[in-house]
Amino acid sequence: MTEGLPLPAAVDIPQIIVVTGVMAAGKSTVSQLLAERFTRAVHLRGDEFRRVVVRGRADMSPHGDPEAERQLALRHTIAAHSANLYAAAGFTVVVQDLFVGTSLQPFLDQLTARPLSLIMLAPDVAVVMQRESERVKVGYGDIWSIRDFDHKVRSETPRIGLWLDSSKQTPDETVDELVRRLPEARIA
């Protein structure tokens, strides 16, 4: 386990923790650091299932492309099945991806392992804009507006689990808070 707050025994058990939020919210970094806190853990990056498509990939856009939505649902199904298998084998699984709006509940419905937690990283839009400008990977650009995407996430995503404004925190501080507040992130 890495440095940081020690995990209580009741927390360091096989489980699934879903981490989501807008692009540039810190999902990858926080999910990796969170997974490293557990004795047996997997960091499952849902975006990897998108990247393995060599030809014919349809990326999401604000225009509602049915093929892109079908591929997103497929990616989420693969991630859910993988998470269930790892959890059944005794691992804590931190699943990270864009599970927002109407795509969240169908994904959660496929997860069978318990306990199940949901963490929505919800930093301020200005912080997301700053982070986006500093990273190599570009999530927005001409297709998505940061403000519009943030509004969509906040207005269309069910308010379940733990929504955390990590605007003023380092990734380690965010993970420390998540470890401390993990019981608040539990969902049925």
Residues sharing a CB contact under 8 Å with residue 47, sequence separation 6 or more, in sequence order: 96, 97, 98
Closest CA to 19 of 78, 93, 81: 93
Closest to 186 (Cα-Cα) out of 119, 88, 104, 91:
119
Q: For the chain (length 188 residues), average pLDDT per consecutive 10?
A: 65 94 93 96 94 91 86 96 98 95 96 97 91 71 75 92 97 96 93
Q: Which helix (H) or strand (E) holds 164?
A: strand 162-164
d(CA 143, CA 69): 16
For the domain spanning 16-187, the CATH number is 3.40.50.300
pLDDT of residue 188: 72
Domain-by-domain residue ranges, the chain?
A: 16-187
Q: Provide the pLDDT for residue 35.
A: 97
Chain mean position to CA 37 = 17
